[in-house]
Structure 1
Amino acid sequence: MSGLGGLNRLSRLATVVRAGLRSNFGLAILKHRLFKEKKDRWLVPVFALAGLGVLPTLYGIVLLIKGAYAILAPMGQERALLTLGVLAGQLLILLFGIYYVISAFYFSRDLEFLIPLPLRPSEVMISKFAVIMINEYLTVAAIVLPVVVTYGVMAKGGIGYWVNAVLVYLALPVIPLALVSLLVVAMMRFINVSRKKDILILVGSIVLIVLALALQIGLGRTAGPQPSAQAVTAFFTSPDSLLNRVGSKFPPSIWATKAVAAGFSSEGPANLALLLGVSLAFFAGIVVMAEKLFYRGLIGLSETTGKKRRLTRDEMSRRVSSGRRAVAAVFGREWKIMNRTPIFLLNGVLVVVIVPVIFVLLANMGSGRGGSGGGGDLSAILKTMTSANPLFAILAAALFMTVCGSLNGTSSSTFSREGAQFWISRVIPVAPREQAAAKFLHSYLVAMLGVVTATVVAAIVLHLKAVHLAAAAGLALVAGVLLTVVGMIIDLARPLLNWTNPQKAIKQNFNVLLATLADIGILTAVFFGAKALIKAKLATTVVLGVVFLALAAAAALSFGILLRFADKRYPEIES
């Protein structure tokens, strides 16, 4: 009977996971729109073209990995490549997994249907954990798979290499995600009793992110003074010394590397067993904590609080008829939609601050306590490159500022974030073009925050001159207008309004992916245009002026298109 009960539990769990995956990826809706309504068939060639557009970048990454392998292999340090790939993937999961876990565990709308079902808390939480893991497989694929595949081809890995590589990849997200899950569940157990839940959730999430960044700082810094020449020689002539140094602060990356690289030899199965055993132990910890704390953390999350103060007649009059312009009123509504949902705020506004901070960490990697204090190896390389060519410095800084400000999903989810409440936007007495203008102002304000943060980082890390920073910021701001409008047009064309999880509206929204691909295409076109101007041996001011005017013209044209498209599209959208 116990065996039959176990099978029933597995069957229930599989059913819940399957339903979660269908909801997460919108498979049923996508199938209906593609094959029944035939509305989204245009997405097929778009994704095909996007895939072809990614191939040159992927080829460049493979060449870079092959070059690094050719340098490290003669010294017996080639395994460090695998460690770097695995470690980068796990750190990415550790950092951005916080968003997924908080959203899926505590803000998913399907929880109100799952909790009344005859499911144990651990079964509900495990089903959510499984969906997050599958999302993370897709997230880290672009980082881990090129390294693993290229290394395997270069090292002529046998069947043991590829079998262990698959097993390690499947286990890769477990430890970092389990660690994040344990911290989040413990945090939410105490937050839900407060009247200021949203604020505390946001603060707690930021604390977890700071801890993750602090871990990355520790991983990126050496532990002692600068070594002597003899010590450096001994270090590089000792096999796998670089592997052990890189992975010393996070041992699972070493276990994963040795399990894959050694294949079926004695070292391979032993490290694979160690990795899987520790992953299983962390997973068991999740099950235990779910039974004890998960539902307690959910109690009261859907409640709201108010001050319950009676308004006077004058106060009521001022609030009902504030006299604000329509654009300002819609802007205020958009601001509240973003800020009152921690997931939107974390994934939108906070990202434009985190990305520049991550750049600072990467730039200072390799700087130890005994260093000169001038930053890491990457920082020194970037300073050398930018100081040698002012035009390169300005364009590179502008690209960095643009990426930090505009590639965050805020504009490309601006309509989707309203969800089932979009009907309000259709019935309020405000013209669609005015609503679109207000939403643009909100999204562009987030982009400006990213540009300002990136400008400060560029000044600190690269020590650019004030005039160069000003020129780069000007280019980034005008490019931000264009990219913001493009993202809004894409989201307005097919808004995702039927989401059950706020995470899905911004992080699991096809529109965000489409907008990112469109942004990459626009920036690539700008790159080749600037390259052609430089080849024509035009002056620096001429090159910058032409690029600025071209971006400004495209931004003005696209903004006009957005306003006209809003007037046409709003009446057609069904909540």
Structure 2
Amino acid sequence: MNKMISLIKVDINNTYGLSTMAHSLKDKKSRWRFIIFGILMMSLIPTYIMLIRALGNMYDASIQIGQRSYFLQMGIFASQILVFVFGIIYVMSKYYFSNDLDQLVPLPIKSSHILGSKFVTLMISEYLTSLPIILPFILIYGIRGKEGILYWIYSFLLALGIPVLPLVIASILVMIFMKYTNIKGKKDLLRIVGSSIFLFLILFIQFQMQSIMQKVIAGGDEFYINLAKNSNLLVMKLGVVFPPSMWGTLSLVNYGNFSGLSYVLLFFLVSIIGYIIMILLSEKIFFDGLIGNMEVSSSKSRGSRIIGIKDSIKINKPYISLAKKEVKILFRTPVYLLNSVGGVIILPAVLVMSTVTGDESLELLTKVLGEFPHFIVLPAIGMIVFLGMLNSIGCTTFSREGKNFWIQRTLPIRIEDQIIGRVLSSLIIQLVGIVAMIGSIFFIAKIRLGNILIIAILGLLGSIPMTQIGMIIDILRPLLIWDNPQKAMKQNLNVLIGMGVGFLYGGILTFLTIKLFDKIDINYIYIILALIFILSSYILYIILKKLISKQFIELQ
């Protein structure tokens, strides 16, 4: 137990940089980072207030249909699903790609202790995902319903326990996946493909659940009669998909009697049993997947052959070589791949799956888009442009170098090539997103080739300034000290700052487009957008040249 507690302390300190944070608070030059972070958090308050108001309207609607408990279950279910989806990425990165594993594995420490300590750290991280979602539901239900003190005690316990079971399931699935994809020479490819399929499968299941619920609600008079008779009918229906969400809901709904207590105990009992199974399973299969991941591949050729210098060396332009290097790193590191490529294809996937699973709300939209294609061209351009920031490539391009950043500073590569190469790597990923976006749009509404070209060209042009904005933010405050590749991309404040600035840039362009929409021809709007993208790219290019030249000298 002492080893476990020590590992948890060390892992929390390494993950969240508590020692570094304490030192930064004493350093006057570093305090501005915390001030910026505080300002960014405060800027999200108006949006969060709007969300809470919308949830208040949902609460009123649930009362009108006599299904007040269903409102509570939506919050619990949504938070657990998000913890599970993000947990897949976090678990793979934390369990198998942390730099501290090189030091931990040779030590006389059980795999269950290593996994258990990392699980606790992940739990803390997942509270940042689950609490902002579940708290408004709990507060609205409790305050408007004037619930008793026992309700708040149960709510507090459930809020703490919500991430446990989704993380346990994610951990077990990832461990099994990593063990049985440990095929020599092909494991990276299999894991990348498997992870992508896994995420798409999760999305598909989620939309299938929505489709089932729509069909249930459309069941006719019998459904409404049952709805009136049973105030927990919808809770029971959704509980079939994931019972723990039903147990958590019923424990809060029935907090005043014994059934509420029994559901709380059942919720935590299943979570504890799941955790024990995960720990026991880790003793059997964790090291199998981990050791395979840490293997160094040997030469495949049994014989030897003479290779000439011209055959072994291929000369490329510096920016081409840099772009290739960036893309290879993105594809070789699963956590980078899932966050960059996964980010640009998840939205198109959602659009397609909404149609495949029979979302009737899209039928009218499809007809309108067929007659007025500019209503889909402009939003598609906007989504692709924002994906240029959402892929997190630009705003982590220097941070991903980590401790090897000094190599980039010493290589005889011009600053211009540094900029072009890193922008190209982002555009290569953007091409994947553009193909996915156009494919999903064509699946929903058959648009013409000319519109497809406009989306692709303007989408790429708009992605350049978005990437450059991220690069400016990252070169000003690169996160170079990390022991887990997840920190460089998922736990990097530059990503959040970049999204905020990207929203501002996109918001200004959206406002301008709306103002011009009824005043000039749509083709002139496309031309204006293209000119703005080109001019923005040039201005940001000049700024980047000066900043990178300065930072390459000053950064230590």
State the TM-score, normalized to the length of structure 2: 0.90
The answer to whether the 8 A contact 2:389-2:499 is kept is no
Deviation at 1:427, TM superposition (A): 2.0
Evaluate the alpha carbon distance shift between residue 311 and residue 511 of structure 1 in structure 2; reply closer, same or farther with a 3 A threshold: farther
Report 1:388-407 matches (<5 A).
393-407=376-390
Evaluate the alpha carbon distance shift between residue 23 and residue 384 of structure 1 in structure 2; reply closer, same or farther with a 3 A threshold: farther
Amino acid at match of 2:198: L
| Match 1:557 to one of 528, 539, 543 | 539
Report the equivalent of 2:7.
16
Deviation at 1:66, TM superposition (A): 1.4
| Match 2:221 to one of 198, 217, 230 | 230
Give the Cα separation in 2 of the matches to 1:273 and 1:559: 59
Evaluate the alpha carbon distance shift between residue 262 and residue 543 of structure 1 in structure 2; reply closer, same or farther with a 3 A threshold: farther
Which moves more between the two structures, 508-517 or 465-474? 465-474
Report the equivalent of 2:437.
454
Give the Cα separation in 1 of the matches to 2:106 and 2:494: 33
Report the equivalent of 2:203.
213
Count of residue pairs the alignment pairs up:
552
Q: For 1:299, what is the secondary structure of its paired residue?
A: helix
Q: Does 1:307 align with 2:289?
A: no
Report the equivalent of 1:194.
184
State the TM-score, normalized to the length of structure 1: 0.87
Q: Does 1:123 align with 2:113?
A: yes
Amino acid at match of 1:186: I
| Match 2:270 to one of 272, 278, 303 | 278
Deviation at 1:541, TM superposition (A): 4.8
Give the Cα separation in 2 of the matches to 1:225 and 1:284: 36
Deviation at 1:438, TM superposition (A): 0.3
Residue by residue, what CA displacement relative to the aligned partner does 1:456-475 show, whole Å, maximum 9, x if unpaired?
22332355666655555554
Evaluate the alpha carbon distance shift between residue 567 and residue 33 of structure 1 in structure 2; reply closer, same or farther with a 3 A threshold: same
Report the equivalent of 2:19.
28
Evaluate the alpha carbon distance shift between residue 463 and residue 175 of structure 1 in structure 2; reply closer, same or farther with a 3 A threshold: farther
Which moves more between the two structures, 239-248 or 282-291? 239-248
Give the Cα separation in 2 of the matches to 1:117 and 1:19: 15
Name structure 1 gaps, 5 residues minimum.
1-8, 368-374
Amino acid at match of 1:498: I
The answer to whether the 8 A contact 2:403-2:480 is kept is yes
Report the equivalent of 1:356.
348
Deviation at 1:170, TM superposition (A): 1.4
Which moves more between the two structures, 544-553 or 54-63? 544-553
Give the Cα separation in 1 of the matches to 2:369 and 2:116: 49
Give the Cα separation in 2 of the matches to 1:192 and 1:266: 49
Report 1:300-339 matches (<5 A).
300-305=292-297, 306-308=299-301, 310=304, 312-314=306-308, 316-320=309-313, 322-339=314-331
Give the Cα separation in 2 of the matches to 1:118 and 1:511: 38
Evaluate the alpha carbon distance shift between residue 385 and residue 523 of structure 1 in structure 2; reply closer, same or farther with a 3 A threshold: farther
Residue by residue, what CA displacement relative to the aligned partner does 1:384-409 show, whole Å, maximum 9, x if unpaired?
77679766544433333334453021
Report 1:45-124 matches (<5 A).
45-124=35-114
Which moves more between the two structures, 95-104 or 215-224? 215-224
Evaluate the alpha carbon distance shift between residue 141 and residue 559 of structure 1 in structure 2; reply closer, same or farther with a 3 A threshold: farther
Report the equivalent of 1:371.
none
Report the equivalent of 1:41.
31
Which moves more between the two structures, 97-106 or 426-435? 426-435
Give the Cα separation in 1 of the matches to 2:351 and 2:76: 19
Report the equivalent of 2:122.
132
Evaluate the alpha carbon distance shift between residue 570 and residue 319 of structure 1 in structure 2; reply closer, same or farther with a 3 A threshold: farther
Evaluate the alpha carbon distance shift between residue 228 and residue 254 of structure 1 in structure 2; reply closer, same or farther with a 3 A threshold: closer
Give the Cα separation in 1 of the matches to 2:292 and 2:374: 56
Evaluate the alpha carbon distance shift between residue 312 and residue 289 of structure 1 in structure 2; reply closer, same or farther with a 3 A threshold: same
Report the equivalent of 1:372.
none
The answer to whether the 8 A contact 1:168-1:260 is kept is no
Give the Cα separation in 1 of the matches to 2:69 and 2:352: 26
Which moves more between the two structures, 113-122 or 15-24? 113-122
Deviation at 1:496, TM superposition (A): 1.8
Give the Cα separation in 1 of the matches to 2:534 and 2:258: 62
Name structure 2 gaps, 5 residues minimum.
none
Give the Cα separation in 2 of the matches to 1:470 and 1:155: 54
Deviation at 1:279, TM superposition (A): 0.7
Report the equivalent of 1:175.
165
Q: For 2:31, what is the secondary structure of its paired residue?
A: coil
Q: Does 1:265 align with 2:257?
A: yes
Report the equivalent of 2:553.
571
Which moves more between the two structures, 199-208 or 61-70? 199-208
Residue by residue, what CA displacement relative to the aligned partner does 1:430-479 show, whole Å, maximum 9, x if unpaired?
11331221011101221232133122223323556666555555543333
Evaluate the alpha carbon distance shift between residue 60 and residue 394 of structure 1 in structure 2; reply closer, same or farther with a 3 A threshold: farther
Evaluate the alpha carbon distance shift between residue 294 and residue 470 of structure 1 in structure 2; reply closer, same or farther with a 3 A threshold: same
Amino acid at match of 1:327: Y
Give the Cα separation in 2 of the matches to 1:542 and 1:298: 56
Give the Cα separation in 1 of the matches to 2:69 and 2:447: 37
The answer to whether the 8 A contact 1:353-1:450 is kept is yes
Evaluate the alpha carbon distance shift between residue 571 and residue 395 of structure 1 in structure 2; reply closer, same or farther with a 3 A threshold: same
